[in-house]
Amino acid sequence: MKNIIELQNISVFQQRNKVFDELSLIINESQNTVILGPNGSGKTTLLKLLNRELYIVQDNKSYIKIFDKERWNIQELRTQLGVISQHLQYNYSNSAIGLYVVLSGYYASDGIWQHQVFDSEKLDRAHEVMDLLGLLELKDRPFFSMSTGEQRKFLLARALVHDPEVLVFDEPTVDLIYVPVFNTLKLFKSL
């Protein structure tokens, strides 16, 4: 059984603030895990470590492994994670439409770019996930003009479109979304 994340005696700074000091933590793939804590306790920092947006202070007694590997091609790693976060929600440009948000999940980006290729298989999968989440009617609508709940549903579709190994929700109760139970079960059976 592999570990999603393994931290050993890590220290992490956000600017000048030490967020973690000699933290050790292991979460394996068989666990459903919730990290709870007050604002500023390091929950988002942990997500940024997992997504390799932040790095630990290196020393000979500390390490971080994600999916049992210490070194990753970041784009390859991010395709194994389905991330839904408030931070990501605000990163999309005003020109992004719903479909582009979903397609950006294939490249773990916060928009789609000229060099990114989406074949008919990827487009079909994006439409399938949007349909299962009740989003097809909104696919051509500007992301910024949607309600917060609609935006969150598109981020869920973005996270699921590439069949990630792990789903990660940062502040999942912010702007709670409603996804009909029937469609959710149908979606997970199709993954």
Task: Provide the b/e sequence for 42-57 (b: ≥16 CB within 10 Å).
Answer: bbbbbbbbbbbebebe
Q: Is residue 163 part of a domain?
A: yes
Prediction pTM value: 0.79
Which pair of tokens denotes residue 162? 């590439």
One domain, residues 97 and 154: yes
One domain, residues 25 and 68: yes
One domain, residues 173 and 117: yes
* Residue 136 and residue 114 in contact, taking contact as beta carbons nearer than 8 Å: no
Of 72, 96, 121, the domain-final residue? 72
> Could you tell me which residues are beta bridge partners of residue 168?
83
What total number of domains does the chain contain? Answer: 2
120-131 pLDDT, tens digit per residue, is 999 999 999 999
The enclosing domain of 95 has a CATH number of 3.40.50.300
Window from 20-34, 42-56, 133-147, 163-177 with minimum mean pLDDT: 163-177
Q: Is residue 77 part of a domain?
A: no
Q: Is residue 92 part of a domain?
A: yes
Give the list of residues 6+ apart from residue 37 with CB closer than 8 angstroms, or none. Answer: 43
* Residue 172 DSSP SS3: coil
179-188 pLDDT, tens digit per residue, is 554 444 444 5
One domain, residues 32 and 107: no
One domain, residues 52 and 11: yes
One domain, residues 34 and 66: yes
pLDDT at 23: 93
Rounded mean pLDDT of the chain?
86
Of 38, 72, 106, the domain-final residue? 72
Q: Is residue 171 part of a domain?
A: yes
Q: Is residue 65 part of a domain?
A: yes
* Domain span holding position 63: 1-72
Q: Is residue 174 part of a domain?
A: yes
Beta strands in the chain (DSSP E): 3-14, 17-28, 63-66, 81-84, 166-169
One domain, residues 87 and 171: yes
One domain, residues 91 and 132: yes
